Amino acid sequence: MMRVLVDTTYILPVVGVSVEGIERVLAKLKELRQGGAVEVYYSDFSVMEALAKAVKAWRAATCGREGLSVDSCGLAEGRGKR
C-alpha cells in the first residue's frame, strides 16, 4: 500500500476554502483510498495552516457587513480601522 502525505492545499476544501484545479486529484485520492490502494496522511501543521487560512477568508468575506461586532473583525485588538 502506498502512503501519501498531502499538504495544506488538499486540506483547504475540508475547511471550506475552495482551491482551483484540485478536484480531479481529490477525486482520485478518494477513489484510491476507498479501494485500499493508498493511505492518506497529513501534518498537524497543515491542519493549523488550513484553519488559519479559512479564518482569514471568512474575515475577508464578512468584515464590514452589518450585524458583526467590532471584536469579530479584530478592531478591538487594533488591527482594523476605527
How far is residue 65's CA from residue 49's CA, in Å, rounded to a whole number? 25
**pTM, rounded to two decimals:** 0.69
Domain annotation covers residue 82: no
Domain annotation covers residue 54: yes
Q: Which domain holds residue 32?
A: 2-77
Element (H, E) at 76: none
The pLDDT value given to residue 82: 43
Give Cα 63 distance to the centre of its chain: 19
Number of domains in the chain: 1
Strands (E), 1-82: 2-6, 38-42
Domain annotation covers residue 47: yes
Domain annotation covers residue 63: yes
> What average pLDDT does the chain have?
84
